[in-house]
Amino acid sequence: MSIPSPPKMATEMALVKPISKFSSSTPIFTNSRYVKFTTVRMSSTSQPTTKTAVKGGKKAAKTAIKETLLTPRFYTTDFDEMETLFNTEINKNLNQSEFEALLQEFKTDYNQTHFVRNKEFKEAADKIDGPLRQIFVEFLERSCTAEFSGFLLYKELGRRLKKTNPVVAEIFSLMSRDEARHAGFLNKGLSDFNLALDLGFLTKARKYTFFKPKFIFYATYLSEKIGYWRYITIYRHLKENPEYQCYPIFKYFENWCQDENRHGDFFSALLTAQPQFLNDWKAKLWSRFFCLSVYVTMYLNDCQRTAFYEGIGLDTKEFDMHVIIETNRTTARIFPAVLDVENPEFKRRLDKMVEINEQLIAAGESDDIPLVKNLKRIPLIAALASELLATYLMPPIESGSVDFAEFEPQLVY
Ligand SMILES: [Fe+2]
Ligand SMILES: [Fe+2]
């Protein structure tokens, strides 16, 4: 998800509550993305309580902001262009009655009372140990960061579009409500492991990636839909195989993923209202590019964390391919072109990328001097780039539910 300039931390600060019951003897988390309970306590002003806390917290967090290409990111966009796109005077394709209907749906707030925790959480977390514990923590942390990224972007869009298009703006604000809830729930999950993600610090310290509105639409639509398929697949799997239900958060995924599905549907309506982003050859190329980026990122990420998926009884690659195929089928309803992910060549190439990525990681972790490390990396990066390109150039699937006459855009379902 993306985001503009860091917005004021009001709602989001409510996500990180001080956990005063932990004392200095609380297990220390070595990963510095976390607030150390005894040194930095988040308050409603996001200020650490003591000077030492500031130093300790910042120093720690700085180490943590070391990012890779595969880390969940925060984004920003061109808000002036966004305002133009959603100006009903300028854009006659905006179907305000459809947005009104969507707004009513968001106002219904189906999950208002869904995210309520119970004592099962802490008890379950205490039973998770060994390598799985760390990988569980990482799952919570990455998911929380991704949800929080969505919260920040939607909140800012809600704020910036208020004057131009109050209906669309309110939907964004209500989506940020959902994402704040999701991020908050995941962060509370971290508290079961005696940790908490410092979201206030993350907001200020994290680098924001700039995407033009068009790319925000592609990327966000895909990320909502892939989120939906991930959550629902895990939920259904654990419902059928309850012996792997090792932490209760997964029981919430069924209703939770409906939020993501609604968010994705909203972006689908936004894209339909911007036919220029769907109806030319450039749109086809970009659609395929974003599909590729999102699928490859997920595959490479998950293949580095097979212990997590195996820990809940899933085969990582099978799970990912299922999610990719379903997401791609959903996406084909709106994007003008998608990748042929059901062609066996696609998975073969993904697996090749996993191999190369593993070699890249090994090269980075070796004891070689930086020069040697870099020399070793060059051919690997070239090989990865060539796999990516070959996958991108595979014959695509022409798709989309929107057809356009040459000079007079018209929707045909
Ligand atoms: Fe979410
Ligand atoms: Fe979402």
Task: Note the pLDDT tens digit of each residue in 346-391.
Answer: 999 999 999 999 999 999 888 888 898 899 999 999 999 999 999 9
CA of 182 to the centre of ligand 1 (A): 5
Q: Give the pLDDT of residue 70.
A: 60
pLDDT in the model for residue 69: 55
Measured between alpha carbons, how far is 317 from 327 in angstroms, rounded to an integer?
A: 15
> Ligand 1 centre and the CA of 187: distance in Å?
13
Spacing, Cα 313 to ligand 2 middle (Å): 25
How far away, in angstroms, is 263 Cα from ligand 1 center? 8
**Which pLDDT score is estimated for 93?**
83
* pLDDT of res. 130: 87
Percent of the chain whose predicted confidence (pLDDT) is above 70: 80
Residue 319 has a pLDDT of 97
Range from 7-16, 175-184, 253-262 carrying the lowest mean pLDDT: 7-16
> Closest-lying ligand to the alpha carbon of 222?
2
For residue 88, report the distance from its CA to the centre of ligand 1, in Å: 28
- Window from 18-27, 85-94, 200-209 with minimum mean pLDDT: 18-27
Supply the mean pLDDT for the chain.
82
Span from the CA of 193 to the centroid of ligand 1 (angstroms): 21
The closest ligand to the CA of 1 turns out to be 2
* pLDDT tens digits along 52-100: 223 334 333 333 434 555 667 898 999 999 999 999 888 888 888 999 9
Q: How far is the CA of 233 from the centre of ligand 2 (A)?
A: 16
Q: Domains of the chain: which residue ranges?
A: 69-275, 278-397
Contacts of 189 (CB under 8 A, 6+ apart): 121, 125, 140, 144, 247, 249
Ligand nearest to the CA of 106: 2
- How much distance in Å is there from the Cα of 252 to the middle of ligand 1? 12
Mean of pLDDT values over 159-175: 96
Nearest ligand for residue 260 CA: 2
* Band of pLDDT at residue 36, cut at 50, 70 and 90: very low
What mean pLDDT do residues 158-177 have? 96
pLDDT digits (tens, 9 = 90+) for 380-409: 999 999 999 999 999 999 987 654 433 333
SS3 per-residue string spanning the chain:
CCCCCCCCCCCHHHHCCCCCCCCCCCCCCCCCCECCCCCCCCCCCCCCCCHHHHHHHHHHHHHHCCCCCCCCCEEECCHHHHHHHCCCCCCCCCCHHHHHHHHHHHHHCCCCCCCCCCCHHHHHHHHCCCHHHHHHHHHHHHHHHHHHHHHHHHHHHHHHCCCCCHHHHHHHHHHHHHHHHHHHHHHHHHHCCCCCECHHHHHHHCCEEECCHHHHHHHHHHHHHHHHHHHHHHHHHHHHCHHHCCCHHHHHHHHHHHHHHHHHHHHHHHHHCCHHHCCCHHHHHHHHHHHHHHHHHHHHHHHCCHHHHHHCCCCHHHHHHHHHHHHHHHHCCCCCEECCCCCHHHHHHHHHHHHHHHHHHHHHHCCCCHHHHHHHHHHHHHHHHHHHHHHHCCCCEECCCCCECCCCECCCC
CA of 32 to the centre of ligand 1 (A): 24
If one compares 2 and 357, the residue with the highest pLDDT of the two is 357
Question: Could you list which residues have their CB under 5 Å from ion ligand 2?
Answer: 224, 260, 263
Distance 16 CA to ligand 2 centre (A): 19
Predicted pLDDT of residue 68 = 56
The answer to whether residues 147 and 197 touch, using CB atoms and an 8 Å cutoff, is no
Nearest ligand atom owner, CA of 115: 1
The rounded Å distance from CA 183 to ligand 1 centre is 7
Query: Which of 55-69, 137-151, 231-245 bottoms out in mean pLDDT, i.e. has the lowest?
Result: 55-69
Q: Note the pLDDT of residue 251.
A: 95
- What's the whole-model pTM score? 0.81
Q: How far is the CA of 385 from the centre of ligand 1 (A)?
A: 31
**Would you state the pLDDT for residue 73?**
82
Distance in Å, CA 227 to ligand 1 centroid:
8
- In the reported structure, the alpha carbon of residue 153 is separated from the centroid of ligand 2 by a whole-number distance in angstroms of 11
